[in-house]
Chains A and B, each alone.
Chain A
Amino acid sequence: MNGIHDMGGMDGFGKVQPQDSESFHEDWEKQIYVANRLVSTQSLNAGRSANSLNPVDYLGWGYFGRSLHSLEGRVLRSGLVTEEELKNPEGRLARVDDYQAVRAEEVEARFRTRRGSRIQVEVPPKFQVGDRVMVKNEHPRGRTRRPRYFRGRQGQVQRDRGVWPFPDTVALGLGDKPQHCYSVKFTAIELWGSRGDPRDVVYADLFEDYLEVVS
């Protein structure tokens, strides 16, 4: 979707704060960040929500406010928790069967073990290193990993990153649609016109379905 989260190239957010270098500022931020990682609703098909927060709240709630939004949304949609229970946490809480919470002893192994999402299937690549490609000018309403500032722009394939699930269909529950992802190089001039510096380039990892060959 053409959401507020797609920020590349926007103006108006002020200067970077290099001295603001801690990950957390307050205890609740740690709590919600970690809880959001520990409570899995993956098998319950609760979907994603981070990108669908309305733009005003997205900007206003901050990074960890968005963790809260994500977790609340997921546990509600999956039916693990009801609105009523959230409104009245001291009231009666319904039991949840067949849910195994992550235990403290499991935490480290679970969060250290690599579960690459790269797919080990042979899919012939449509593009080769060196190809000139254009990012298709499409504006899907669902989740996509094709930032607006690349759409309609031309670049050159630098590397084939292998075969991965396609985020756009995964988010819609339409399956993995395994395909190659490519590292594509764009000149700053191509992306930003006269505001780009002729010395600079931007690289992005783009899925095959986002790209078409430039003839």
Chain B
Amino acid sequence: MAKKKISRRNFLATGPAVAAGSAISARGLTQESEAVHGTPPSGISLRVQSLISVLTKKGLLDPKAVDALIEYYETKIGPHTGAQVVARAWVDPAFKTRLLENASSTITELGLTGIGNSRADLVAVANSAQVQNMVVCTLCSCYPWALLGLPPSWYKDFAFRSRAVIEPRAVLEEFGMTLEEDVEVHVWDSTADLRYLVIPERPEGTEGMTEEELAALVTRDSMVGVEKLQPYRPEGEV
């Protein structure tokens, strides 16, 4: 699925999304609205700069460390790590069994020595023809970031956090997922120090692919459980 980069500023600038949100919420029909989320007070950017400047001058924060950590979050961690785990689970059933039993220790077999400083254990849950798993954190935005990188904005938004547990099927539809009649939805609310990774079903048409080729097919959203991987069609075929 092509992901269009869209900034919240653009949402605001283009108007309709937020305008629709407020207009509709005034009428009390919010489910029809595009999105309802907070907009930080104007001047917040200055307030952040001012706090960071004080912390820096007082020696409490090293600007080089800030850059290094931003770089770490933006380039070193990301869904490619989770994808590696999923691909191995697809090709090695014994690995998958161990992974579902104890994910934190099993991922060390791939040289993944920890799941960051999230102080949490990792849990893997597998989709099947009958079960679609989906991950949320209703209380904050807990996310298996060492395997998937930092969470997308939609994961942190109020709409996802509030609705994933009460109307998961409607939410999945908004992600473009249609479920077969007999499929159960299992929602995992990350209420404690456990972080969830969904193992999506291996797409059709991938027989004979290498682990590396398979990993390249695994998307972030499929590992949060809001996207089903489409059957693989070699380029040029329709």
Contacts and interface: CB of A to CB of B under 8 A. Distances in A.
Contacts of A204: 189, 191
A5 B87 CA distance: 35
B185 A197 contact: yes
B89 interface: no
A80 B57 CA distance: 12
Contacts of A103: 62, 64-65
Interface residues of A, number: 96
A28 to B, nearest CB: 4
B174 interface: yes
B216 interface: no
A141 interface: no
What secondary structure prevails in chain B residues at the interface with A? mixed
Interface of B: 3-9, 11, 21, 24-25, 30-41, 44-45, 47-55, 57-62, 64-70, 72-73, 76, 104, 113-117, 119-121, 123, 138-141, 146, 149-154, 156-163, 165-169, 171, 174-176, 182-194, 221, 226
A173 interface: no
A113 interface: yes
Contact of B192 (A11, A19, A206): A206
Contacts, number: 322
Contact of B184 (A16, A105, A117, A199): A199
A34 interface: yes
A23 B66 contact: no
B192 A205 contact: yes
B40 A112 contact: no
Interface in A35-54: 35, 37-39, 50
A22 B7 contact: yes
Contacts of B72: 107-108, 111
Nearest to B165: A8
Q: Which interface residue of A37, A62, A65, A191 has the most chain B CB atoms within 10 A?
A: A62
Contact of B66 (A34, A65, A192, A202): A34
Interface string A4-23: 01111111111111111111
A81 B139 contact: no
Interface in A156-170: 161-162, 164, 167
B190 A205 contact: yes
A170 to B, nearest CB: 11
Contact of A62 (B4, B40, B57, B188): B40
6 contacts: A8-B162, A14-B35, A15-B34, A22-B152, A101-B65, A110-B117
A93 B57 contact: yes
B40 A60 contact: yes
Nearest to B62: A101
Contact of A34 (B24, B25, B69, B151): B69
